[in-house]
Amino acid sequence: MTVIGLVRHGITDWNTQWRAQGHTDIPLNEEGRRQAERLARRLLDESWDAVYSSDLIRALETARKAIEGRGIEIRTDIRLREVNLGQIEGTTEEDRVSKWGADWKKLDLGAEPRESVADRGVQALEEIATLHPGKRILVVSHGGLIGQTIRRLVPLGETFSFIGNTSVTLVRKAGDGTWACELFNCTKHLEQAEG
């Protein structure tokens, strides 16, 4: 059985401003770095055989902090990037309504289709699982990519929710090729007091 730990990157200034990030390469802010440090403490007693990350700096910075001092190489994969949001990247909801009107979601503004996001996410995880059978693999990515990929691999129905910053989701691939979710969107490390 192969286990993949999916982690969303730490928070950025654009997250706090509710700006659409997509492929725009925004770094973690100070809070995001603290979240990544708490994630690292959480993962300290866990064994990981390999680490993959989106090539965008907010994910890569989170991955580096999460495994700091372990001597594990981080492999980047462009397929793990966030959803390409086209023309809305860098905008807030207010900006979008002002520029394109209240029905802006009905317009073709160049955003990547959800099906394409799920396709590349599933393809990446299937390939990672094939390369590391029976291992534990940490994958640091983005909320949109993780959400669409999980929806495709493990239908969670109405229990599906917003993917929190530095949340941990564990999925396992059985020998028969089926996927199951063992832990979803867990942020218990962010609730612990500084220490």
pLDDT tens-digit profile of 90-134?
999 999 999 999 999 999 999 999 999 999 999 999 999 999 999
How far apart, in whole angstroms, are the C-alpha atoms of residue 33 and residue 30? Answer: 5
Reported as a single tens digit per residue, the pLDDT across 47-93 is: 999 999 999 999 999 999 999 999 999 999 999 999 999 999 999 99
Using pLDDT thresholds of 50, 70 and 90, give the confidence band for residue 195: very low
For position 119, what pLDDT does the model report? 97
For residue 45, what are the contacts with CB-CB under 8 A and spacing of at least 6?
Answer: none
For position 24, what pLDDT does the model report? 97
79 is in an annotated binding site: no
Task: Assign a CATH topology to domain 2-191.
Answer: Rossmann fold (3.40.50)
H or E stretch including 66?
A: helix 57-66
Residue of 61, 82, 89, 112 marked active site = 82
DSSP code for 177: S
Residue of 9, 61, 112, 142 marked active site = 9
- Give yes or no for residue 193 having a pLDDT over 90: no
For position 101, what pLDDT does the model report? 95
9 is catalytic: yes
14 is in an annotated binding site: yes
Residue 12 — φ and ψ, nearest 5°? Answer: -125, 170
12 is in an annotated binding site: yes
132 is catalytic: no
How far apart, in whole angstroms, are the C-alpha atoms of residue 152 and residue 148? Answer: 6
- The residue-averaged pLDDT of 161-169 equals 92
pTM for the model stands at: 0.94
How far apart, in whole angstroms, are the C-alpha atoms of residue 58 and residue 133? Answer: 28
